Amino acid sequence: MESLNDTTWEVLLCGTDLPQSLLALALSRSGKKVLHIDKNDYYGGAEAAFSLQEAEAWVEKINSCESRHLGWKWQYADFWASIDFHSVLLSFYSDIAYNITLSPHLIYARSNLVPALVSSKVYRQLEFLAVGTWWICGVKEPDLDRGVDEVGNSAKQAEKKVVRRIPGSREDAFADKSISLRATRSLMKVLRGAADPETYPTMISEAGHQSFQNFLESQYMIDPKLQAPLQALTLSPDPPAKTSVAFAVPRLHRHITSIGRFGPGFGAVVPKWGGLAEISQVACRAGAVGGGVYVLKQGIESIDQAHITENHSTSEGANQRHLKIKLQGDNEVKARWIIGTKSTLHSISDWDPPENTMSREVTHLTAIVSSPLTSLFIPPAEGSPPPASVLVVLPPSSLELPKSLDLAEVPAIYLIIHSSDTGECPVGQCTYLFPSCKSNLQSLPAGH
């Protein structure tokens, strides 16, 4: 690090999260002199991926007093195992056999990230795996003719939770025998309208302020039981009554138009070996080839506002002002631009978001289970590649909640399941990923 002292950079980038990593790559390839630093000892920031032991160490650091002064995005973390994995689990599997991501994501074929990965050629050094069938949990209708089951329980008591495939295309809708023909036609009108590039903007302009729930009822006469699958395809973090048409329809459009773009039957992918953290690392390596310099365990301590220097020898032929920056460990550099986020620039920035800025606190749970769940990982269509990720939606109606609770005010729970093909766990196991908004969880009664 000593060689960086008293050096001058055009751009100082803070944090190796995905946005900063892709920006650093673009700047270095355009000939800019880039210094890219991260206060952590790993790449990826909030999208990082860890082995089990690294995850334990990360949890301890998050809960330490040190993290309270680092401006970290995470407020609290915990690590729990049903067995002593150090002595039992890791005796069968290497610690590096696990690669747990902090921020699970699905990359849609129609997302804005895909063109960036293609134009930067980062995709050439990545391996992507298909996201397969979307499932929704529901209650199996009881056999009312029998009235009781084998052990004498009532039909109501004998209800079982089942998962069904969410219809995301015309073929799916007509293949689902549990949906009546009339309901299928109504469902197809919604899917066609959301998929049509000329129709869906009109849907937003005319009914954008409406709740998606009321919109489906008033405009398309969609049965309440079919509203949950459509709501699920939007990945809305809000309950049905609070999800607007302006939010839901563009995401429904993205989902439908993405299907088939990468291959038959699926519309989204996940990067192998750690999700978005893998993309960040590849982008950083490519940026280094382009001339960028990367340094971990380095953050900004302060900026000397009294020492703004003038550089008279610029390629543009004009004077440029440079800031004098003190890094951790008494290292000093100069840079014309400093780029980062609130969490990476907390020590030098007193920026607060505008009052109308919407922000959420998100809770996230990752669980490793000893089951391959092969029945869920079926190809969604003929000719589809074997999926490595599926999504299971738990709508409010599938949860055991008090009868006094209005289900329209309860959000769905999204469960992303990754197989061992993702490189996140050994063969024969799966990872369960539960991201959810804290405010939504607080709307549920205690114990649910």
pLDDT digits (tens, 9 = 90+) for 417-446: 999 999 999 999 999 888 776 544 444 443
Of the listed ranges 129-143, 168-182, 305-319, the one predicted with least confidence: 305-319
What end-to-end distance do the CA atoms of the chain give, in Å?
51
- The predicted structure's pLDDT at residue 350: 58
| pLDDT digit string, tens, across residues 184-195 | 888 889 999 999
- The predicted structure's pLDDT at residue 396: 86
Instruction: For the chain, state the CA radius of gyration.
Output: 25
| Contacts of 140 by beta carbon, 8 Å cutoff, 6+ apart | 159, 160, 161, 162
| pLDDT digit string, tens, across residues 335-373 | 999 998 877 776 666 555 555 555 677 788 899 888 999
Show the tokens assigned to 326.
Answer: 């003190």
Amino acid at 280: S
| pLDDT digit string, tens, across residues 398-417 | 888 888 888 878 889 999 99
- The predicted structure's pLDDT at residue 76: 83
- The predicted structure's pLDDT at residue 445: 41
Mean pLDDT, residues 370-393 taken together? 92
- The predicted structure's pLDDT at residue 338: 92
Give the residue from 48, 38, 46 showing the smallest Cα distance to 278.
48
- Residue 177 pLDDT grade (very low, low, confident, very high; cuts 50, 70, 90): confident
Q: Is the pLDDT of residue 151 over 60?
A: no
345 or 98: whose pLDDT is higher?
98
Mean pLDDT of the residues in the chain: 82
| pTM score, whole prediction | 0.84
CA angle 3, 4, 9 (to 5 degrees): 145
Percent share of the chain, pLDDT over 70? 80
Q: Is the pLDDT of residue 397 over 90?
A: no
- The predicted structure's pLDDT at residue 401: 82
Amino acid at 93: Y
- Residue 226 pLDDT grade (very low, low, confident, very high; cuts 50, 70, 90): confident
- Residue 307 pLDDT grade (very low, low, confident, very high; cuts 50, 70, 90): low
